Amino acid sequence: MKKKYHPHPSPSKEADSNPSISGRRRLPVIWPVLLIGIALFAVLYPLMRPGFFVSDDGEWMIIRLSAFYQSLADGQFPVRYLGRLNNSYGYPVANFLYP
């Protein structure tokens, strides 16, 4: 009886016969995911606290964003002039800043 030719031996037989393959350890998939999760938590933790984060012009950007939304709701598209700012005289801040 003739033996059948197998061009590629099965991985288990190859790993048993070759100590360099069987001795090599692979990093489990859970460790990179866990490290990325810890890094993301450390970076995003200050944004998860209640209240608004401290910045130089953060409060002004909230005011500009609400005025932008009001101008957009009034039908102005693209929004270029925010009529609620500057004591209701308006201000063309949308021409100079991103919305």
Distances (CA, A) of 18 to 13, 27, 33: 9, 20, 31
Residue 53 lies in a domain: no
Q: Give the integer Cα–Cα distance in Å for 89 and 20.
A: 78
**What are the start-end ranges of the H helices in the chain?**
11-17, 19-22, 30-48, 58-73
Residue 20 lies in domain: 11-48
Residue 63 lies in a domain: yes
The total number of structural domains that make up the chain: 2
Residue 2 lies in a domain: no
pTM reported for the whole predicted model: 0.48
Residue 34 lies in a domain: yes
Spans of the chain, pLDDT less than 70: 1-27, 97-99
Please list, residue by residue across 4-40, b when 16 or more beta carbons sit within 10 angstroms of its beta carbon and e when fewer do.
eeeeeeeeeeeeeeeeeeeeeeeeeeeeeeeeeeeee
Residue 28 lies in a domain: yes
Confidence at residue 39, expressed as pLDDT on a 0 to 100 scale: 96
Residue 1 lies in a domain: no
- If asked whether residues 15 and 40 sit together in one domain, one would say yes
- If asked whether residues 38 and 66 sit together in one domain, one would say no
Confidence at residue 24, expressed as pLDDT on a 0 to 100 scale: 55
> Is residue 22 a contact partner of residue 16, using CB atoms and an 8 Å limit?
yes
Confidence at residue 4, expressed as pLDDT on a 0 to 100 scale: 67
